[in-house]
A and B are shown apart, each in its own frame.
Chain A
Amino acid sequence: MIRDITLGQYYPAESFLHSMDPRSKIVLTFTFILSLFLAKGAPGYGVAFLFLVLAIRASKVPPRFMLKGLKAVFMIILLTVFINLFLTPGGAVLFQWGVFKVTRTGLETAVFMALRLIFLIVGSSILTLTTSPISLTDGIEALLKPWEKVKVPAHEIAMMMTIALRFIPILLEETDKIMKAQMARGADFESGGLVKKAQSLIPLLVPLFISSFRRADDLALAMEARCYRGGEGRTRMKRLSYTRVDVAAALVVAAYLLALGLLARWL
């Protein structure tokens, strides 16, 4: 049931990508996403595809986990394809039925747009699948650090993310428990109309809210008892450090960008 949902969808394994520093993974993923907007024509997307395949191989995550992320946005991709397919003017008309007209440019735009979206989602899935939520927030905090000069609360943002992420599995477990306890008392969460379904959530939501507040209170007290007072002067047990792996990854991405750039120039 709810236990099966793994949020943050981290897939534990030992691989090249897992051993990278979260900072470089975040930066390189963004580089890849931006590069998708530079890719032109079939060869461009071919290079991007090859790069993705390489990255998936280097992550040791079964490809079906990457495709899981696609399922959630399938409708958006479909909608994009349809809009582009029918509403892009220009080029030879391939097919016409009433007001629906498919042009050559339309078909190309639709296909490339879909590919771009798919690559984008798979690319970012690789980041979240190979980086545990905690090291992801560590990476974000480190990357936001320079912005503290212009009053960006880097530490607070990261701490909020960490706590939120930490609480997701706890709250899921709690939801599961309360749901079962109420089901044992004959509660029915599945059948009935919209109003009845909404009503049936009260026995779940009230205890869940109460326990969330209790936990938040406990956590605040525990943090204070350990002298937590924000990010200033705080040191870390686990320090982020770049290694050879990160240099190698950066070189691979650079090579990929170069290939993409050369292709764009030639075509």
Chain B
Amino acid sequence: MSIEIRNLHFTYGEGTPFRKEALRNVNLEIRTGEFIGLMGHTGSGKSTLIQQVNGLLKPTAGEIRIHGKDIHSKGASLKDIRQEVGLVFQYPEHQLFEMSVYKDVAFGPTNMGLSKDEIHSRVVDALDRVGLGEDMQEASPFELSGGQKRRVAIAGVLAMRPKILILDEPTAGLDPKGRDEILGEIGRIHGKGDMTVILVSHSMEDIANHVERIIVMDKGEVRMDGPPKQVFQEVEHLEAMGLGVPQVTYLAKALEAKGCGLEGTVTTVEEAMAAIRSLLGPPGPAKGGGIHD
């Protein structure tokens, strides 16, 4: 499903001394099946923007079209929109409330008024997608580890079978292993169908490793929009907004400045490895001082 955002403005607490302009003239077009990384410093308006997309917040001005349909027009049901646009909040494990993992994941599908069999198949499928086996179904969600809790919460959204999946900082507060697992699962979920995925993250590495397109926000406006290679070229620009580029890009840039003949456009470790390999020539038996992998 495609998302179109036109001239979107949003202000919190309009008409009070605490009014705060959160979004200013946002224009975006997101096509079906894209994998998008949304970056921005704290307070840049990322979270506000994603809440606009599934109708949890109402724009002060402007419009949002999901698959061509204005979500705030008459006749559009916000409940339907929220089924199509699945939103996983930051620290989603804080929303768990049921006695068992199974029941918690079933909460969304139950609200959709599905049949028991349908709910069952969706819950099992969703848990499987996030890598939780059948043996976990009857466990209390509060006994699980942090990473497992988070996966249960993500499964709770997946069970609604959204066509657009938005994840707000899905790796915040997880250890490196948990982070890689969750990101890998998100990548697999995206790879499987034509689901549109928007990943909000602070981590340049997470974004560089997974997404096809990066949208950078600052002070409520969209500042950059393009493929990772292009966006991560603008180091100074990103740093001025309190962001940065992946560590490996910094390294490649430093090597480029030293005149190693390496291009400073790499954004992932794999790319860097391949680039350095090709610079050193084809691997032969007489490999001098080299790269150990």
Q: Given the complex, which residues of A lie within 8 Å of B95, measured CB to CB?
A: 178, 181-182, 185, 203, 207
A13 CA / B97 CA spacing, docked (Å): 42
Q: Given the complex, which residues of B lie within 8 Å of A11, measured CB to CB?
A: 17
A4 CA / B13 CA spacing, docked (Å): 6
Report the contact-size class of chain A (Cβ under 8 Å from the partner): 20 to 34
Q: Would A184 and B87 be within 8 Å (CB), given that A178-B94, A206-B97 are in contact?
A: yes
Q: Contact at A180–B16, with CB atoms within 8 Å?
A: no
A86 CA / B126 CA spacing, docked (Å): 67
The 8 nearest A-B residue pairs measured at CB: A186-B111, A206-B97, A185-B108, A181-B95, A184-B87, A181-B89, A180-B56, A203-B97
Q: Given the complex, which residues of A lie within 8 Å of B111, measured CB to CB?
A: 185-188
Stretch in B78-86, B203-211, B268-276 touching the partner: B78-86
Asked if A177 is an interface residue, CB under 8 A from chain B, the answer is: yes
Q: Contact at B82–A184, with CB atoms within 8 Å?
A: yes
Asked if B112 is an interface residue, CB under 8 A from chain A, the answer is: yes
Please give the distance in Å from B111's CB to the nearest CB on chain A.
3
Q: List 17 A-B contacts (CB under 8 A).
A: A4-B16, A178-B95, A181-B89, A181-B95, A182-B95, A183-B56, A185-B157, A185-B160, A186-B82, A186-B160, A188-B79, A203-B107, A207-B94, A207-B96, A207-B97, A210-B142, A211-B94
Contact surface of A with B, Cβ cutoff 8 Å: 3-4, 6, 11-13, 174, 177-178, 180-188, 202-203, 206-207, 210-211
Q: Given the complex, which residues of A lie within 8 Å of B250, measured CB to CB?
A: none
Asked if B220 is an interface residue, CB under 8 A from chain A, the answer is: no
Q: Given the complex, which residues of B lie within 8 Å of A186, measured CB to CB?
A: 79, 82-83, 107-108, 111-112, 160
Q: Contact at A184–B157, with CB atoms within 8 Å?
A: yes
Q: Contact at A185–B156, with CB atoms within 8 Å?
A: yes
Q: Contact at B97–A202, with CB atoms within 8 Å?
A: yes
Please give the distance in Å from B27's CB to the nearest CB on chain A.
24
Q: Would A3 and B12 be within 8 Å (CB), given that A184-B86, A185-B107, A186-B111 are in contact?
A: yes
Please give the distance in Å from A211's CB to the nearest CB on chain B.
6
Asked if B148 is an interface residue, CB under 8 A from chain A, the answer is: no
Q: Contact at A180–B112, with CB atoms within 8 Å?
A: no
Across the interface, A184 reaches (CB within 8 A) one of B54, B94, B97, namely: B54
Which chain B residue lies CB-closest to A187? B111
A47 CA / B79 CA spacing, docked (Å): 56
Beyond A3-B13, A181-B95, A183-B56, 9 additional pairs, beta carbon < 8 A: A4-B13, A6-B18, A11-B17, A181-B89, A184-B82, A184-B89, A184-B157, A187-B111, A207-B96
Q: Given the complex, which residues of B lie within 8 Å of A185, measured CB to CB?
A: 82, 95, 107-108, 111, 156-157, 160
A202 CA / B95 CA spacing, docked (Å): 11
Q: Given the complex, which residues of A lie within 8 Å of B107, measured CB to CB?
A: 182, 185-187, 203
Which chain B residue lies CB-closest to A214? B94
Q: Given the complex, which residues of A lie within 8 Å of B51, measured CB to CB?
A: 180
A230 CA / B112 CA spacing, docked (Å): 52
A228 CA / B204 CA spacing, docked (Å): 40
Instruction: Output the residue of A6, A182, A186, A207 with the most chain B CB within 10 A.
Output: A186
Q: Contact at A184–B112, with CB atoms within 8 Å?
A: no
Q: Given the complex, which residues of A lie within 8 Å of B157, measured CB to CB?
A: 184-185
Q: Given the complex, which residues of A lie within 8 Å of B108, measured CB to CB?
A: 185-186
Please give the distance in Å from A192's CB to the nearest CB on chain B.
12
A3 CA / B94 CA spacing, docked (Å): 19
Q: Contact at A181–B17, with CB atoms within 8 Å?
A: no
A206 CA / B94 CA spacing, docked (Å): 10
Binary flags per residue of B84-125, CB closer than 8 Å to A gives 1, else 0: 001101001011110000000001100110000000000000
Which chain A residue lies CB-closest to B12? A3
A210 CA / B93 CA spacing, docked (Å): 11
